[in-house]
Structure 1
Amino acid sequence: MALSTMFTELFGLRHPIALAPMGGSAGGALASAVSNGGGLGLLGGGYGDLDWLARELPIVAESTGKPWGVGFLSWAIDVGAVERALEWNPRAVMLSFGDPTPFAERVREAGAALIIQVIDAEEARQAVDLGADVIVAQGTEAGGHGARRGRSTLSFVPVVVDLVAPVPVLAAGGIADGRGVAAALALGAAGALVGTRFQATAEALVDPSVTKAIIEGRGEDTERSRVLDIARGSSWPSEYTARTLGHPFLDQWRGREAELAADPQAKQAYHESVERGEIPPLPVWAGEGIDLINDLPSAADLVGRMAKEAEDALVRAGSASSMRRPGE
């Protein structure tokens, strides 16, 4: 049973699975591995660091003959970063968080597919108006940054599917195995965008301590907050919070974001603790599906495994729906 959708047909993929372009950790090796495994690998261009792109773009371009793409944070980049990526002829460019308008037309002019991630219905409408080829509906279960006051994947995805039809939608947020992919398809999505699960793969650009934390973590250990962005001096806009695993500064400053922002000594203490090795240099971004992650496979193998799990889950669901109820 092949899972053919509008998304797989658009890109010529074997499986309706895309790699979330996680800034820094979704490097060229990971993106190419996902593409070689039959999904769509998206390089994590993040803030548009040109040195990082110069290192990672050749890796993905030279490591796969399959479709691949690049993702950026709309609020953080300038057109130069997009231009640099387009020089390598990615099949797609994904824009997330902030206004994608300044970059959308340039992506389309280059012949790349335009993927826009949205966190509410207003952004979904804007994505349609900008001519998005694919729209990603991100629920609040997602690891890393997302809506401060968003909606869960289960309720948000079908709303976006109905709102933007016939544009294909990818579901994102809390999807960490093939059952999550199957659920996304059942909600009307054309596939799934997966982040945290791919952090724990052989090709991810993450410290071994992060991998260990993800494999050992639980969904209830994650929470959304701005505390760590404030402590780090991150420039992320205030309308976005980040879902991470637990952290000493979260325990100390939870619910006191305004106080932390106004306390330079507290922020200095954070950086000094990082320098002394008492706390990790970066938060561990992790979604609510983290309980389902318990190994460190190659990303290519993981794509195939998730696709098979999704197929099996849909077969089981179909068998259950065809069973007669007692007394019928």
Structure 2
Amino acid sequence: MKTAMGLSTRFTELLGVQHPIALAPMGGSAGGALAAAVSRGGGLGMLGSANGDPEWLARELPLIAEAGGRSWGIGFLTWRIDADAIERALEHRPRAVMLSFGDPSPFVERIRAADTVLIIQVTDLEETRQAVDLGADVIVAQGTESGGHGARQGRSTLPFVPVVVDLADPVPVLAAGGIADGRGVAAALALGAAGALVGTRFQATAEALVDPSTAKAIVEGHSEDTERNRVLDIARGSRWPSKYTARTLGHRYLDRWRGREAELAADPRAMQDYQHDVAQGEIPSLPMWAGEAVDLITDLPSAADLVTTLATQAEDALNRAGRL
């Protein structure tokens, strides 16, 4: 296998990583083993702590030791956490903390006081301006092609990223949404980003905390199989703000309730049925989050090897473009 030399950007220099590739801190799948493997491969691995659950952190954080002292981070769903969650994370001295989906302002001062890199994800220009005003060290510009949650009325990655890059300059920006191979990483760099935040591609790796059926569905899935919706959040009783929907693969509850969200929300029996079906193993415990680039995912490599592959592909793509 060809070895990637490393593309130096403001992001790699700030975080001390070899490649401009970061693991999206996906709740439910980005555990300690996956984050450590990405960091070991030369990217920035990030734990998907979601709400900062103490038991989850106690189980997953020790696995970060496998990163071998390399930079790593932890991500939170801003609307679900409190100051205690931030404190618990900072006790373990992550190199970066990422805040997504919600108002980050209550937590910014504490993170910066810990000399920790503050990463804020944005889905529109209002959120971008706020992130700049709050002094974010890195901004993630997430397009609607992304798997999992994102803005219901957001913008596609290709036109959104350069606008954020211009607005945030000189703050480094990571592109997110629809990036599943090195060509996507190269495209992000060509748009002016300092790297890429990759989610769905890393769900299909040996270290991801996903049900085997989910990994199989991602490998076999196609872009047209994905759909952005609120149905599954409502059915499972998740209190996600209505501003954000989730892109998932198909699901029988989605088929049953598509277009009937208000009716579903008013039907407690439907939510009980959902929990019953999860308990019986008839449906996965979590929806199958997957982005539009799922077509590009055809195997289940180790995450460390995948980082190298993505970086090598990105360098090759940029070299080809430079010869045109």
Aligned to 1:311: 315
Task: Determine the structure 2 residue equivalent to 1:273.
Answer: 277
Identity of aligned residues (%): 77
Residue in 1 that maps onto 2:144: 140
One of 241, 248, 264 as aligned partner of 1:244:
248
Q: Secondary structure at the match of 1:75?
A: helix
* TM superposition outliers: structure 1 runs of 4+ over 4 Å: none
SS in 2 for 1:242: strand
Q: Does 1:29 align with 2:33?
A: yes
Moved more, 61-70 or 107-116: 61-70
Question: Structure 2: how far apart are the matches of 1:269 and 1:54?
Answer: 31
What amino acid is aligned across from residue 271 of structure 1 in structure 2? Q
After superposition, where does 1:110-121 map in structure 2 within 5 Å? 110-121=114-125
Aligned length: 320
Q: In the TM superposition, what whole-angstrom CA distance separates every residue of 1:108-127 from its partner, at most 9, and x where no partner exists?
A: 00010000000000111111
Partner letter of residue 226 of structure 1?
R
- 2:90 is matched with which residue? 86
**Deviations, residues 165-195 of structure 1 (Å, cap 9, x unaligned):** 0000000001000000000001110000000
Q: Find the counterpart in structure 2 of residue 219 from structure 1.
A: 223
1:21-170 to structure 2, matched below 5 A, reads 21-61=25-65, 63-170=67-174
Partner of 2:232: 228
Counterpart Cα distance in 2 of 1:313 and 1:303? 15
Q: CA deviation at 1:265?
A: 2.1
Q: What TM-score comes out, normalization by structure 2 length?
A: 0.97
Letter in 2 for 1:34: V
Does the Cα contact within 8 Å between 2:151 and 2:245 map onto a contact in 1?
yes
State the partner residue of 1:172. Answer: 176
Task: Provide the TM-score with structure 1 as the length reference.
Answer: 0.96
Contact 1:134 1:168 in 2 (8 A): yes
Looking at structure 2, the residues matched to 171 and 317 of structure 1 have their Cα atoms a distance apart, in angstroms, of: 19
Deviation at 1:84, TM superposition (A): 0.7
Structure number with bigger Rg: 1
Structure 2: gaps (5+ residues)? none
Instruction: State the one-letter code of the partner of 1:176.
Output: A
Q: Structure 1, unaligned stretches of length 5 or more?
A: 321-328
Measure how far apart 1:62 and its partner are: 5.3
The answer on whether the counterparts of 1:221 and 1:245 sit within 8 Å (CA) in structure 2 is yes
Matched, 1:199 2:198: no
> Matched residues in 1 for 2:42 and 2:186: separation?
16
Amino acid at match of 2:213: S
